[in-house]
Amino acid sequence: MTSTATRRRGRMARNWLMFAALAGPNILLLIAFTYKPLLQSFYYSTLQWNIGSSRAISVGLRNYTDWLTDSQTPHVVGVTVVFTLATVGGGMVLGLSLAVLLNRRLKLIGPARTIVVAPYVLSGVAVGLLWLFVFDPNFGIVAAVLGFVGLPSPAWYNDPQWALVMVIIVQLWKNVGYIALIYLAGLQAIPKDLLEAASLDGAGPVRTFRRVILPLLGPTTFFLSVTTLLSSLQSFDIIQAMTKGGPLEGTTTMMYEIYREGFVAGRAGYSSAVATILFVVLLIVTLVQMRFVERKVHYA
């Protein structure tokens, strides 16, 4: 009995050692580069601190009240919501459509899949610089095409609304390949016998898609809705490369405001307060998705 208990304890100790050896480095890295900065950010949000300075002033919740009462805040929140809904919603619809196309047995489907996914692996800054030329109202391809049919180029860079449309288009172009790729994997995981059964029951392509394929893609859609929502809310590189939040702050999202206040204005405390608010928003949105949306997901 005693030797059995000793062996069990020894096994437990070995398991713990193995756990510490395998998970320890990851946990330490997470603490150092995720949780510690996260908590530091909470702390800094209570300071009036010029980044770079070794001195700061404790101001309690003033940074939060300043942001909440700033007349620009509703505009920034509005831009964030429009940008996020357009890139997530538009991305899901376009991505699913592309995935359906790419799931067909067509000639050159391999290269087509590569072409669709390729923009996702490009650097956001490179993509932004590339599209900067595409949308140039004097020399860009878009202006040339519109001019060919007798239309003027929109003021992509001087009109806040068009500027927002422009960065949404570029964000969609960059990320739709990723969404299509995940949806394609989801489509290919659907059992063929289910589709054959639906066909035998007389369901046409549209009905099969609505009643069989879409529900079975539920887990994929749920996964994509969470991940693309989080990445859209944190999008930064394309906006920085193309518009720097302008014109007239027409493309300033909360994420961009965090960067601009922290590193351009040097207001580290204020920037941390906005970052904390965005963190809370992301947490709530994710929890709501998990609590309410996931219930409606059908797992095969």
Partner 1 sequence: MNPRSTVFSSTLTRRNLLTLSAALGGTALLAACAGPSVGDAGQAAASTAPAQDWTGIKPASSITWWTNHPGASMATEQAMINGFQAANPGITVNMVTAGANYDEIAQKFQAAAGTDSVPDLVGASDVWWFRYMINQQIIPLDGLASHLNANTADFNTTLYDDYKYADSHWAMPYARSTPLFYYNKTLWSAAGLPDRAPATWDEFDQWAPKLSAVMNGAAPLGIGKGTSWAAWWFCNIMWGKGGAYSSDWSMKLDQPETLEAGNYLRRIINDDKSAAVSATDSTADFGAGLSACTVASTGSLTGILASAKFEVGTGFLPAGPKGAFTPTGGTGMAIASSKSPEQQLAAGMFLKYLTDAEQTATFSAATGYMPVRTSAMDGATMTAIYAKKPQFRTAVDQLKNARSQDWARSFVPSGDKYLTTALEQIMLQNSKAEDVFPKASADISTSYDQNVKPYL
Burial class (CB in 10 A: 0-12, 13-18, 19+), 166: buried
Burial 99-132 (b: 16+ CB within 10 A, else e): beebbeeeeeeeeebeebbebbeeebeebbeebb
CB 276 → partner 1: shortest distance, Å? 13
Closest approach, Cβ 240 to partner 1, in A, equals: 11
Binding mask 129-168 toward partner 1 (x if CB under 8 A, else -) reads ---x---xxxx---------------xxxxx---------
Cα–Cα distances (Å) from 221 to 112, 119, 178, 185, 211, in that order, read 22, 21, 13, 12, 15
CA 289 to chain centre: 15
Cα 26 to the chain's mean position, in Å?
24
Q: Note whether 291 binds partner 1 by CB under 8 A.
A: yes
Site for partner 1 contains 75 (CB under 8 A): no
Q: Which region among 31-39, 144-152, 170-178, 196-204 touches partner 1 (by CB under 8 A)? A: 31-39
Alpha carbons within 13 A on the beta-carbon side of 55: 0
CB of 204 to partner 1, least distance (A): 29
Q: Kindly state whether residue 265 participates in binding partner 1, applying the rule CB under 8 A.
A: yes
Identity of the residue, 107 or 291, whose beta carbon is nearer to partner 1 in the bound complex? 291
Of 50, 73, 208, 234, the one binding partner 1 (CB under 8 A) is: 50
Interface positions with partner 1 (CB under 8 A): 27, 31, 35-36, 38-40, 42-44, 47-58, 71, 132, 136-139, 155-159, 219, 223, 226, 244, 246-249, 260-261, 263-267, 290-291, 294, 299
